[in-house]
Chains A and B, each alone.
Chain A
Amino acid sequence: MVALDGVDLQVNEGEIFGLLGPNGAGKTTLIKILCTLLLPTEGEAYVKGLDAVKSAGQIRHIINLVSGGETPGYGILSVRENLWFFSQLYGLSRDLARDRMQKLVEQLGLEEFTDSRMNKLSTGYKQRLNLARGFINDPSVLFLDEPTLGLDVISAKHLRTFIKSWMMSGNKTVLLTTHYMAEADEMCARVGIIDKGKILACDTPQRLKAKLASRPSWKIEISPNLQKIESVKTIPGVVGVSETNNIETGITTLKLVLEDESAMSDLLSKIGENGSKVLSMAKAEPTLEDVYISLVGRGLQ
């Protein structure tokens, strides 16, 4: 199976670069290659000009990795003890480790849990600890693999704010992978859209959305849901469609990107033929999700 196919990408120093794509698109594979955890079968990858295969040892001095939904560390140790341990993997002196730990637990809202065992923390706080660990060596290049996965809205917001403020501290570079379009839109200077191992587009969120300005985006609520979403996808003039089903209300939300408005009448007819009723419809400003739908032909859900 080909995980990455002819990926040609450059992340600029000092930027947060977002990689958007569904599960299995190749995002984590790319990050693992750059983090020296995986050897590419072909091609080359560089981090700060260092070859990811030949200079793996040197790269490890300047990077760190935070994977969302992961809780590395030792449950029986406290937050402070875990952070100290990971600081020693980067050779931090006692004073530097203490100062950095103090700063990180304050910035990430972990002060009241510094002496709590990791296995007593909630998922959100474990994730904050994981993030603190990722910053413990103050890396030049940070890889964030879905860092807000499984977090509540407030914790996710807190983490995003922290990452953005850390970027202000100097020449830092972040490669972020995410499922969340709004997260990428808010945080990233540029984004790459990846599907089936290929980069489909790469630009600033604004430019990507602007390219879609000529293609109308619509949000249509229907009920009951469509039995065959494919019947909508095949209508001439429909570039892409995603559907989200709300089980509680029985309402399905379709997000559509069209070539032009002429496809709308066929679309509404098809919805009616399927036995669904249109509850509401609104034209929307293009979002990154619409960019994704127009490129891939389907949504992330």
Chain B
Amino acid sequence: MNPVHQTFGELLWLNFRAAYARMWVRLKGSNREITWIMAEILLPVLTIGAYVILYRTLSLPAYLGAAVIIGGTMISFWSNVLWNMSAQWFWEKETGNLEMYLVAPVSRMAILLGMALGGVVNTSLRAAGVLVLGIFVFQVPFQLRDIFAASLVFLLTVAALYALGMVFASLFMLYGREAWHTNMLLQEPVYFLSGSYFPTIYTSVIPVWVQVTATLIPMTVGLDAIRIVTIGGGSVSSVWLHIIALVVFSLVLLPLAHKALSFMETLAKREGRLTLRWQ
């Protein structure tokens, strides 16, 4: 006896609705507290300001100030990926929501997709605020000639980052608070290696092997591409290699996330840790 018959189309629609609903929760929840929004815009501007002032004091080229503003803006996405995407499973587990997701007939990827889309929209709005405020306050030079190229590299960077977030989310399926350390380990090194606040590639100060390692991080590649297009006035032809790299990142990371989630879920079910709290 099989009491459940669902076509592929019905399942796709079900997962689409679930992803939309999870996105809606993120948008609604995160924008209900105005203090959160203000903090998320103003605090990055303070960090950016510190670097811009430092570079001006040292009489370094003005484009470095613009690079910092782009870096500080994009770093919001990395923080969002780490803490509101990967670590979100931890919070969902603690509140009992994860259990409800896993008992429901929806794909875990649909839930993560909803979180990612909500995170992208939320963080984009905040990042826009940081960008505008940064440009307005610090009066740094930008040369944006190809909006299409800028939009393309931005979207591809964000896609690659959130795909990476989905891979990390699988860790929280099995582990609880222990996986926080993974996030901590990933946060600062990526801030440093991706060159968010100072150049880490195309510079003689940092060893070549460190620079090559840094390019394995989607953030480094995306950030460099966005800077080339928005500060250097580049076009698609200037960043074609970056575009290919970012597409490859997404194509590899998304299926990897799916596999990792399934593997970790099975392991957690076997070890009885799927809904175990206070770990």
Known A61-B6, A62-B3, A76-B33; judge A88-B17 contact (CB<8 A).
yes
Inter-chain contacts of B1 with A (CB < 8 A): 48-49
**Structural contact, A60 and B105, CB atoms closer than 8 A:** yes
Cα–Cα distance between A86 and B24 once the two chains are bound (Å): 12
Binds A, one of B123-131, B183-191, B266-274: B266-274
**In the complex, what residue of chain A is closest to B102 when comparing beta carbons?**
A37
Cα–Cα distance between A29 and B269 once the two chains are bound (Å): 11
Q: Which of B2, B4, B13, B21 contacts A85 (CB 8 A)?
A: B21
> With an 8 A cutoff between CB atoms, is B101 at the interface?
yes
**Structural contact, B17 and A50, CB atoms closer than 8 A:** no
Cα–Cα distance between A140 and B20 once the two chains are bound (Å): 26
Interface size on A, residues (CB 8 A): 39
Considering the complex, which residues of chain A in the window 8-60 have a beta carbon less than 8 Å from any beta carbon of chain B?
A: 29, 32, 35-39, 41, 48-50, 55, 57-60
**Structural contact, A49 and B2, CB atoms closer than 8 A:** yes
Interface size on B, residues (CB 8 A): 36
> With an 8 A cutoff between CB atoms, is B25 at the interface?
yes
Known A38-B269, A67-B96, A91-B14; judge A61-B103 contact (CB<8 A).
no
For residue B73, give the distance in angstroms from its CB to the closest CB of chain A.
26
Inter-chain contacts of B22 with A (CB < 8 A): 85
**Structural contact, B103 and A35, CB atoms closer than 8 A:** yes
**Structural contact, B95 and A72, CB atoms closer than 8 A:** yes
Inter-chain contacts of A64 with B (CB < 8 A): 103
**Structural contact, B17 and A91, CB atoms closer than 8 A:** yes
Cα–Cα distance between A55 and B6 once the two chains are bound (Å): 13
Known A37-B269, A65-B99; judge A89-B32 contact (CB<8 A).
no
> With an 8 A cutoff between CB atoms, is B248 at the interface?
no
Query: How many contacting A-B pairs (Cβ < 8 A)?
Result: 101
Cα–Cα distance between A133 and B100 once the two chains are bound (Å): 10
> With an 8 A cutoff between CB atoms, is A162 at the interface?
no
**Structural contact, B272 and A85, CB atoms closer than 8 A:** no
Q: Which of A49, A57, A72, A86 contacts B3 (CB 8 A)?
A: A49
> With an 8 A cutoff between CB atoms, is B153 at the interface?
no
Inter-chain contacts of A85 with B (CB < 8 A): 21-22, 24-25
Considering the complex, which residues of chain B in the window 1-59 have a beta carbon less than 8 Å from any beta carbon of chain A?
A: 1-4, 6, 10, 13-14, 17-18, 20-22, 24-25, 28-29, 32-33
For residue B212, give the distance in angstroms from its CB to the closest CB of chain A.
42
**Structural contact, A37 and B275, CB atoms closer than 8 A:** yes
> With an 8 A cutoff between CB atoms, is A194 at the interface?
no
**Structural contact, A37 and B28, CB atoms closer than 8 A:** no
**Structural contact, B275 and A90, CB atoms closer than 8 A:** no
With A50-B3, A71-B96 already in contact, 11 other A-B pairs whose C-beta atoms are closer than 8 Å: A36-B102, A37-B103, A48-B3, A57-B105, A58-B105, A65-B99, A65-B100, A81-B28, A86-B100, A90-B104, A90-B105
Q: Which residues of B contact A (CB under 8 A)?
A: 1-4, 6, 10, 13-14, 17-18, 20-22, 24-25, 28-29, 32-33, 95-97, 99-106, 266, 269-270, 272, 274-275
14 A-B pairs, CB-CB below 8 angstroms? A35-B103, A48-B1, A58-B2, A62-B3, A62-B4, A67-B99, A72-B100, A74-B97, A76-B28, A77-B25, A85-B24, A89-B21, A89-B100, A89-B105
Q: Which residues of A contact B (CB under 8 A)?
A: 29, 32, 35-39, 41, 48-50, 55, 57-65, 67, 70-74, 76-77, 81, 84-86, 88-91, 133, 140
